Amino acid sequence: MLSLLVLSAQVQAKNKILGKQAPDFTATTLFPDGSVKDFHLHDHMGKKIVLYFYPMDNTPGCTKQAQNFRDGIAKLDKQGISLVGISCNSIESHKRFQKKYNLPYPLVSDSRLHRSIGKKYPGTVSFGCYKRKTFLINKQGCVFKIFDKVNIENQIEDILKAFEQEPCK
């Protein structure tokens, strides 16, 4: 019974954002060139965007996911898809993570205290930490696909396929 309630809550949360305008946010971000500045989602409207939420820098699963994105970023770039990673880690943690794994995409810091972005994107926060979840946003700024269960090995192909089949072009 409890699992049905949890599933129902997840479906309701997903329905609050799926097919709707992506919630805007501004957050301190580490960019691939090492610069730290604010990232404003609204500045990227008109582009295809992947927002991937992940629990924590330098943990086995998150590292594997980040490396997979790093290794597949050229495929996303070729299709005009921008990638942004979001976690509750600090910019200093992101700097170490980015440098260690040579990550060529922005890493957003959504403070452990506020998690303001997570509050706008339903189902991303669990027990005070981010869950692994990916949101696809089309050129019109609409969230058209949410990956609740991320298959790290196939995430690039899954994302490319979803954008190819996007219903809201």
- Catalytic site positions: 62
How far apart CA 6 and CA 86 sit, in angstroms, is 24
Q: Are 139 and 48 in contact (CB under 8 A)?
A: yes
Locus of tokens 């799926």 = 18
Across the chain, the runs of DSSP E, i.e. the strands, are 26-30, 36-40, 48-53, 81-87, 107-109, 125-126, 129-130, 133-137, 143-147
Sign of CA dihedral 164, 76, 86, 148: positive
